[in-house]
Amino acid sequence: MLKIRLRKLNDVAIIDCSGEVDLYSSTQVREALVKELNSDVASVLINMADISYIDSSGIATLLEGLQLSKKTQKRFGLYGLQKNARSVLHLARLDTVFTIWETEKEAVEKVPSTQPWAGL
């Protein structure tokens, strides 16, 4: 249902997710986020290009990641959102809370110049 792969590009950790994020599979995303946001990288990105479905459990996990990024002072962002994920984030008014890029190239290039999330 959900496959996760972790990789690093310089000082950026990328969490590649493929499949559906729900109550069951969001725990895998959470584990990956906790691991990477507590590591020595400067930035953590979630590749959502292959996430075909996400519900409020998945969104809660992303928000937990955002909160942890503030605590650990890491840059954090998402990229590659598909229509379904984009629409639920927009509906929840979270598409302006997360830093979101279209492509990996753009995300990797621009994330070093962003600031860690300061909270609302």
Partner 1 sequence: MPMPHPTILRMVINTQPRLLHILRGVVRYYAREGGFSDSEVNALAVAVDEATTNVIRHTYHGNPSGTMALDVIDYADRLEFVIEDSGPKVRPESIRHRPLDEVRPGGLGTYFIKCFTDGSSYDEAFTEGNRLRLVKFKGSRESDK
By CB under 8 A, name the binding residues for partner 1.
1, 20, 22-24, 53, 55-57, 59-61, 63-64, 67, 83-84, 87-88, 91-94, 97, 120
Q: Is 13 exposed, middle or buried (0-12, 13-18, 19+ CB in 10 A)?
A: buried
Residue 112 has φ and ψ, to the nearest 5°, of -65, -25
Judge contact between 12 and 42, C-beta under 8 A. yes
**What whole-number distance in Å separates Cα of residue 11 and Cα of residue 19?**
26
Residue closer to partner 1 by CB (options 57, 114) is 57
18 vs 104, beta carbon nearer partner 1: 18
3-state secondary structure of 92: coil
Nearer to partner 1, 18 or 42 (CB): 18
Residue closer to partner 1, measured from CB, 31 or 109: 31
Name the minimum Å distance from CB 64 to partner 1: 5
CB of 63 to partner 1, least distance (A): 4
